[in-house]
Structure 1
Amino acid sequence: MAPEEVEALFTRSSGEYLFARWGRPIAPVVFGVEEATLQVVKGALEAVVALAGHQLAETDPELGSNLMVFFFREWKELTEVPHMEQLVPDLGPLVGRLEAADANQYRFFRFDKDGAIRAAFVFLRMDKELSKVPAETLALSQIVQTMLLWSDEAFRDRSPLAVAGDHTILRPDFAGLIKAAYDPVMPAMAQDPSHALRLSARVAMYAPD
C-alpha cells in the first residue's frame, strides 16, 4: 500500500490528517440482535482484534463497556434509550440530521488525553439496504471501521473487504495496515502526514500472503 494511499485513508474531507487507534482493551456490548447475530459480531471482533495484536476485556474499569453496537429500525429509538444523551452529545439534533439524510449507520468516537480511542458507539439502522447485507459481511465491515479512526471518505470508493469463496474476508492490504497501525513502536494518535510513510513501510511486512 503506497504512502499516498495510506495518507488518503486518514485524511478527512476537511484536509486534516488524523489517525487514532484504541489505547485500551476493548470491552464490547451489542444491543438489538438475536444470539446468532451476536455470535457473528463477536467472532468478527475477536478476529480483527487478534489480527491487530490488541486485547479484548470483559469490562472497562472506567466505562464498563467502551464499544457499544446498536441495531434498530428507526433513529428515534435512540432518544428512548436511558442515558444515551450522556454518551452522545447533542443526541436530539444528531438524530434529526441522520433522519433527514436517511442515513443507515453512524459511528461516534471518544478519545483519551493522549488522543487514542477511548470508546466507540456504532449505530446501525436496519433499513432495506442494510438488511440485505449478510450478517458476516456487516459485522466484519463495522468492526474494521471501528478499529481505527479512518477518514470520513476512506471507504467511499473501495471496500476493505473481499469475497473468497463463500466467505467475506478482510483484504490482505487492509489486514497489513491494521497490524502495522497497532505496532507498539507506532503512536496511538498522529496528526502529521509523515505518519503515513511509516505505516506504509510496515504494511508489506505485515500483510498476509
Structure 2
Amino acid sequence: MDHSEIEPLFTRGDGAFVFARWGRPMAPVVFGVQEETLSVVKGAIEAVSNLAGLEVVETDPELGSNFMWFFFSEWDELPEVPGLDGLVPDLVPLVARLKAADANQYRVFRFDEAEAIKCCFVFLRMDQHLSDVPAETLALSQVVQSVLLWSDVAFRDRSPLAVAGDVTVLRPEIGALIRAAYDPVLPGASMDKTHALRLAARVGVAQ
C-alpha cells in the first residue's frame, strides 16, 4: 500500500485526516454472550493485538476495563445498563439516533491527553443480519475496526477481511498497515496527512 491508498482510510467523511492508535494495553470485557462466543471474541482480540504488538491485560488502572463489548437485542437495553451513561456521553440521544438509523453496530472511542485511544465501546445489536454472520468473522471484524481509529467511511465499500478457502482472514495489506501503525517510533495520534507517508514507508517492511 502506498500513501494514496492509506490516506483515505483515515480521512473522514468531512475531509479531516484523523489517525489514532491505542496508547495503553487493552483490558477487554464482554457482556451478553455465552462462554463459547466469549472465547471466540478473546481469540480475535489476542490475534489482532499480537499483530500490533499491543499488550492485553486483565485490568486498566484508570478504568478497570477499557475495551467493552455489549451484545444485545434492542438499542433500548443500553440506557438500562448501570453506569453506562456515565461512561458514554449523551447515551440516550445516541441510542435514539441509532434506532432511527436502524443501525446494528456502533463503536465509541475515548482518548487520552495525547489523543491516543484509551477506551473503546463496541455495541452490537444482534439483528438477523449480524446473527447470520459467523462469530469468528464478526469478532475479527470488530477488533480490527477497534484497534485503530479508522475513517468513518474506511470500509464502506470493502471489508478489512477476506475469505481464504473456508476461513475468514484479515486482508494482508490491512494487517501490514496495523503492524506499521504500531511502530513505536510513530506518535499515538496525528491529524496531519503526511502521517500516511510515514505509515506507507513502514508497510513495505511490515509485509
Instruction: Give the TM interval when normalised to the shorter protein.
Output: over 0.9
Q: Secondary structure at the match of 2:56?
A: coil
Residue 184 of structure 1 corresponds to: 184
Give the CA RMSD over aligned residues. Answer: 0.6
Q: Deviations over 1:167-207 (max 9, x none)?
A: 11101100000000000011100000000011011112112
User: What is the Cα deviation at residue 144 of structure 1?
Assistant: 0.1
Cα distance in 1 for partners of 2:67, 2:113 equals: 18
Q: How is 1:116-195 mapped onto 2 (pairs within 5 angstroms)?
A: 116-195=116-195
| AA aligned opposite 1:7 | E
Residue 103 of structure 2 corresponds to: 103
Q: How is 1:1-209 mapped onto 2 (pairs within 5 angstroms)?
A: 1-207=1-207
Q: Secondary structure at the match of 2:118?
A: strand
User: What is the Cα deviation at residue 4 of structure 1?
Assistant: 1.2
Q: Deviations over 1:119-146 (max 9, x none)?
A: 0000000001111100000000000000
Q: Deviations over 1:87-123 (max 9, x none)?
A: 1111111110000000000000000000000100000
Q: Secondary structure at the match of 1:123?
A: strand
| AA aligned opposite 1:152 | D
Q: Secondary structure at the match of 2:58?
A: coil
Q: Which runs of 5+ in 2 are unaligned?
A: none
Q: Which runs of 5+ in 1 are unaligned?
A: none
Q: Using structure 1 for the length normalisation, give the TM-score.
A: 0.98
Cα distance in 2 for partners of 1:92, 1:118 equals: 22
Counting aligned pairs with the same residue, the percent is 68
Q: Deviations over 1:19-72 (max 9, x none)?
A: 000000000000000000000000000000000011001100000000000000
Flag as ranges the 4+ runs of structure 1 deviating above 3 A. none
Q: Using structure 2 for the length normalisation, give the TM-score.
A: 0.99
Q: Secondary structure at the match of 1:5?
A: helix
User: What is the Cα deviation at residue 164 of structure 1?
Assistant: 1.2
Q: Secondary structure at the match of 1:138?
A: helix
